[in-house]
Amino acid sequence: MIARNIFRLVAVMIFCPLMAHANRGMFDIDRWYAMMDDIRSRAAAQNISDGMIKSALQSPAFIPSIVKSDTNQAEFKLTLDGYIERTVNANRIGQGKKMRARYPTMLSRVEKKYGVPPHIILAFWGLESNYGEIKSRHKLTDAFLTLIYDGRRETFFTNQLLALMKIADKNKLNINDVRGSWAGAMGHFQFIPTTLAQYGVDGNGDGRVDIINSIGDAMFSAGNYLNKLGWNKNERIVRRVILPADFDISMLDGKTKLSLPQWSALGVSNPDGSPIPQNEMIAGLVADVAQIEQLRAEHASAAATATMDTDVAPMPVITAYLTYPNFYRIKKWNNSNWYAIAIATLADNLK
Better-predicted residue by pLDDT, 143 or 312: 143
Q: What is the DSSP string of 287-320?
A: --HHHHHHHHHHHHHHHHH--TT-PPPPPPPEEE
Average pLDDT over residues 177-204: 95
**pTM of the full structure:** 0.87
Query: Is residue 149 located within the same domain as residue 220?
Result: yes
Give how many domains the chain has, as a whole number.
2
Contact 221, 209 (CB under 8 A): yes
Query: Is residue 178 located within the same domain as residue 283?
Result: no
Within-domain flag for 77: no
Asked if the model's pLDDT at residue 11 lies above 70, the reply is no
Within-domain flag for 92: no
Query: Is residue 217 located within the same domain as residue 310?
Result: no
Q: Which domain holds residue 306?
A: 238-323
Asked if the model's pLDDT at residue 294 lies above 70, the reply is yes
pLDDT of residue 308: 57
Query: Taking the CA atoms of the chain, what radius of gyration do you get in angstroms?
Result: 25
Query: Is residue 215 located within the same domain as residue 313?
Result: no
Q: From the CB of residue 110, how many other CB atoms can be counted at a distance below 10 Å?
A: 27
Within-domain flag for 176: yes
Within-domain flag for 192: yes
Nearest to 328 by CA among 234, 199, 232: 232
pLDDT of residue 163: 98
Within-domain flag for 110: no
Q: What is the CATH number of the domain that holds 143?
A: 1.10.8.350
Within-domain flag for 22: yes
* DSSP H or E run through 180: strand 179-180
Query: Is residue 249 located within the same domain as residue 188?
Result: no
Query: Is residue 189 located within the same domain as residue 298?
Result: no
Residue 349 pLDDT level (bands cut at 50, 70, 90): very high
Residue 9 pLDDT level (bands cut at 50, 70, 90): very low
User: In 3-state terms, what secondary structure has residue 248?
Assistant: coil
Asked if the model's pLDDT at residue 289 lies above 50, the reply is yes
Q: What percent of the chain has pLDDT over 70?
A: 87
Query: Is residue 140 located within the same domain as residue 190?
Result: yes
CA end-to-end span of the chain: 60
Last residue of a domain, one of 195, 228, 261: 228
Query: Is residue 159 located within the same domain as residue 279?
Result: no
Asked if the model's pLDDT at residue 252 lies above 60, the reply is yes
Within-domain flag for 87: no
Residue length of the chain: 351
pLDDT of residue 76: 58
Query: Is residue 220 located within the same domain as residue 245?
Result: no
Query: Is residue 57 located within the same domain as residue 32?
Result: yes
Asked if the model's pLDDT at residue 296 lies above 90, the reply is no
Better-predicted residue by pLDDT, 151 or 130: 130
Asked if the model's pLDDT at residue 318 lies above 90, the reply is no
Last residue of a domain, one of 207, 228, 249: 228
Query: Is residue 154 located within the same domain as residue 182?
Result: yes
Query: Is residue 16 located within the same domain as residue 140?
Result: yes
Within-domain flag for 120: no
Residue 345 CA to residue 347 CA, distance in Å, equals 5
pLDDT of residue 47: 97
pLDDT of residue 307: 61
Residue 206 CA to residue 237 CA, distance in Å, equals 34
